[in-house]
Structure 1
Amino acid sequence: MRVQRVSAASAPTVGRTVDWDFAATVARKLVRPTPPVTEYTRRQAIEQLSEAARRSEGPVREVTGLVEGATITEARIVDRREWVTAASQSMRVMTGGDGGDASGFLTRRITGAQTGAVLAFVSSGILGQYDPFATGSDSGSSAGGQERSDSGSSSSPGELLLVYPNVIAVERTLRVQPADFRLWVCLHEVTHRVQFRANPWLADHMSQALAVLTDDATQDAGAVVGRLSEFVRDRRNGVEAEPNAEGILGLMRAIQSEPQRAALDQLLVLGTLLEGHADHVMDAVGPAVVPTVATIRRRFNDRRQRKQPPLQRVVRALLGFDAKMSQYTRGKAFVDDVVSKVGMERFNVVWTGPETLPLPAEVDEPRRWIDRVL
């Protein structure tokens, strides 16, 4: 079953205000230099990540009970510049960026530059991702110089990307065993691949919510200003000294229409479930295949909670990284609780369709999801 694309008529308007090719060009120029490594270390990391991605699939399928019925596809091992190229292509698809010019050349270039700057910032921290919207049409080689396999062709949407310079940088920072850490990272990312390929409706569900969230064609400027003013008045006495996850989400909701708020809730809940489920699987699989998993988990969690410089904290909050960290923690607690009570087989009812996904209030109260769905 192929991932359904958002039609041109219903495509989000935001994507068509961005010059995506220019965004990728800007991002590649702004990408921070990678940590110095020898050619031997680079080749070793690429080979180990490729092998770890293959090794992860079997244990992940076994623990989750999600069998996609498809052959194991090769991961694509990339550097930071290759990642921003792939990410910009995916965002073009997700946001309807091929739907034609919705604005002038200058506007598209400005928004392209802004988007490129964001992609460059993200590229220095992301370890890997499964992109369910990738068409596999890029026939380029992986960072290891190996040709893409047939499983990466356009007939099979979705692609697993692993950013090897960032993996090397983090494992050095954490002072952990490289081979173990690379396998641990792959367990998380391969879980996302299994989630989407075993449940093809997930990608379409994301597309539909994103289409509503980024469609500003029906937004009334006066109503937006009114909602924003009300938000400012309500928070005047308790405003934070700097942006945080809750503040940024509150600001987003203040300027959104009701359908957009509902779409944002859908995306946040889905993201929380996906990330929490992947973290649960990492820990469930980890001890059997990753000897130093306890040390890796402890040091990785410490890194997540480490205090950042003020400017970086502001940027991270604006880009939603704090909310992302909350997704890992809250999502894992939800999955841990439900699986401990009903087992993984009954938990998997959550993947039936949109109606069985947890509601926002149920994420922190798993018993309510069990009562409603099971």
Structure 2
Amino acid sequence: MDHRLIHWELAAKTAATLGTPGPKLSPAEASAVVADLRRHADAAVGHVHEITRLEAARDLRDSGVLIVDRASWARANVHSFEAIIDRPLREAAAKHSERLSATSAAVTARATGAEMGAILSFLSSKVLGQFDPFAPLKRPHLPEAGRLLLVAPNIVEVERELNVEPADFRLWVCLHEQTHRVQFAAAPWLRDYLLGSIAELVEGMLGKADSLGERLTRLFTEKTPLTELIRDEKDREVMSRLTAVMSLLEGHANVVMDGVDSSIVPTVKTIRQRFARRGADRGALENWLRRILGLDAKMRQYADGQKFVSAVVQQIGMEGFNRVWERPEHLPTEHELHHPQEWVDRMRA
């Protein structure tokens, strides 16, 4: 029996079919945007080094930078999801094969693949950039450290929508994404930590299901929030760890973005103001989609993590905060994320 529970090829095909290309650019304009984004991505590394004071950010050359369109971003994320969860899904399915017939497995795989493709199609028009540390796990020819993806049509679309200076906005975006690249370079154990936690969560979540296929289908096709599928206390602890680390990564990247001034990004104040107001202009359909996909929760993660990092840096400086990258034991718990003094006290002890 094939224990694959997500039809990955169908996910990629669906995302490409449903996706839209974005703003129209002539070949010359598109080439200029690509070259400009590469230049800003390279320049951002030095600024991240100056703000974070992480040695890993000094002239970072450990991973690739790709300027992609929406379809390529979606396809890259299908590959990454496959690298992250295909093995634990197959293992869970094999362990509980008596609950899942070959027919139901095939139906589940196609249903979840199509839904994943639809979700990625929507997200592909929203994401500006992403550092993907998991790509080499399914693509051995890629740099071991991962790759940075910058979604050119979305960056152009947002800078036009906000009516901001393109050069400044592109550098501002690159600062956030390059910070994620630096985080994984500073903490080379971080990728395996995330993979292990995700595998543990998948096994716990699916292994305890009354119906493995039904539970996975609910997750993707009914947009059932992940938290509703987590009932065991141990699984909640794993989810808490993941929430804390993702909040930390996003919050830290936001602190770096806020660390730049007009000497680096001349119109940074205007960009911040207009980007912050952008959410108020979303339509009802997009707000609904963001809610069921958990994007609003992700924005709260940004805020929670940013408050934690800012509070710690204010008290013990950036060098003191940087202990967080030394080993997994130094990561804040979800409780500490909301009580930064307790993390500071633990590091001092």
CA distance in 2, matches of 1:358, 1:253: 24
| 1:25 positional shift | 0.5
- Cα drift, residue 220 of structure 1: 4.5
1:203-261 per-position Cα deviation (integer Å, ceiling 9, x unaligned) = 11111111122224430529xxxxxxxxxxxxxxxxxxxxxxxxx76x72464322221
What value does the CA root-mean-square deviation take over the aligned residues?
A: 2.5
Return the letter of the residue paired with 1:131. Answer: D
Number of matched pairs: 322
CA 1:329/1:193 → structure 2, altered by over 3 Å: closer, same or farther? Answer: same
Query: Corresponding residue for 1:228?
Result: none
Structure 2 equivalent of residue 141 of structure 1:
none
Partner of 1:75: 65
Preserved CA contact (<8 Å) 1:75 1:161: yes
Task: Give the structure with the larger helix fraction.
Answer: 2
Q: Distance in 1 between matches of 2:300 and 2:323?
A: 24
TM-score (norm 2): 0.85
In structure 2, the residue corresponding to 1:135 is in which secondary structure?
Answer: helix
* In structure 2, distance between residues paired with 1:331 and 1:99: 29
Q: 1:333 aligns with which of 307, 328, 348?
A: 307
What is the CA distance between 1:332 and its match in structure 2? Answer: 1.2
Give the aligned partner of residue 219 of structure 1.
Answer: 208
Distance 1:172 1:309 in 2: 18
- Residue 156 of structure 1: how far off its partner (Å): 2.2
- Cα displacement (A) at 1:32: 2.1
Q: How many angstroms apart in 2 are the aligned matches of 1:91 and 1:312?
A: 23
Aligned to 1:256: 231
Of the three residues 339, 342, 347, the one matched with 1:368 is: 342
Residue 153 (structure 1) shift: 4.1
Distance 1:301 1:59 in 2: 22
Q: Which residue of 1 aligns with 2:109?
A: 108
Distance between the aligned counterparts of 1:52 and 1:153, measured in 2? 25
Unpaired segments of 5 or more residues in structure 1?
A: 1-14, 139-151, 223-247
The change in CA–CA distance for 1:277 and 1:155 in structure 2 (over 3 A counts) is closer
Q: Percent of pairs identical after alignment? A: 42
- Taking the aligned partners of 1:40 and 1:136, their CA distance within structure 2 comes to 35
Q: Is the CA contact 1:136–1:159 (under 8 Å) kept in the aligned structure 2?
A: no
Give the SS at the match of 2:266. Answer: coil
For residue 255 of structure 2, the aligned residue among 267, 280, 283 is 280
Q: CA deviation at 1:312?
A: 2.1
Q: Which runs of 5+ in 2 are unaligned?
A: 94-101, 212-223
Structure 1 position 364, deviation (Å): 2.2
Q: Secondary structure at the match of 1:161?
A: strand
1:136 and 1:157 in contact (8 A); partners too: no
Partners of 1:307 and 1:268 in 2: CA distance: 28
Superposition deviation, residue 336 in structure 1: 1.2
**Structure 1 residues 178 and 158: alpha-carbon distance in aligned structure 2, compared to 1, 3 A threshold:** same
Q: State the distance in 2 between where 1:92 and 1:325 align.
A: 25
Specify whether residues 177 and 130 from structure 1 end up closer, same or farther in structure 2 by C-alpha distance, changes over 3 A only: same
Residues 1:98 and 1:334: Cα distance change in structure 2 (over 3 Å) = closer
